[in-house]
Amino acid sequence: ACVRSNSNRAAISHLHRQLYGRCYPVLLVNTDGSTIRLRYSEPKRILMLPLDSSTLPEAERKARLRRHFPSKPKAKEEETFEGIDLDAYKKFWKK
């Protein structure tokens, strides 16, 4: 069998390189705090793995849920102009 070292050889077999041409160095942080350096396709500095909430104590799990899903803002009462002295603001009116 004749081996040809030209551009047609890539069509017959796979390219001898990584799947993505450009990979960026990234720091991966595990849930226990350990870190691993790896190559990632997007330019990021740190990737953090999600924490398994089933292993947390009940109080800490509820606190994390409250931080992720805060309560809805309470409706504010509308201001009324009954208790305001309008003579104090006469200097701001244009005549």
What's the CA gap between 86 and 55, in Å, rounded?
Answer: 61
Q: What's the confidence (pLDDT) of residue 27?
A: 93
pTM (2 decimals)?
Answer: 0.41
CA atoms in the 13 A half-sphere facing the CB of 79:
3
The domain ranges of the chain are: 18-67
Q: What's the confidence (pLDDT) of residue 35?
A: 92
Average pLDDT over residues 1-7: 59
pLDDT, tens digit, 9 for 90 and up, residues 45-86: 998 888 888 888 999 889 988 888 888 888 888 877 777 888
What's the CA gap between 51 and 61, in Å, rounded?
Answer: 10
Phi, psi of 20 (to 5 degrees): -110, 135
Identify the CA nearest to 64 among candidates 53, 55, 72: 53
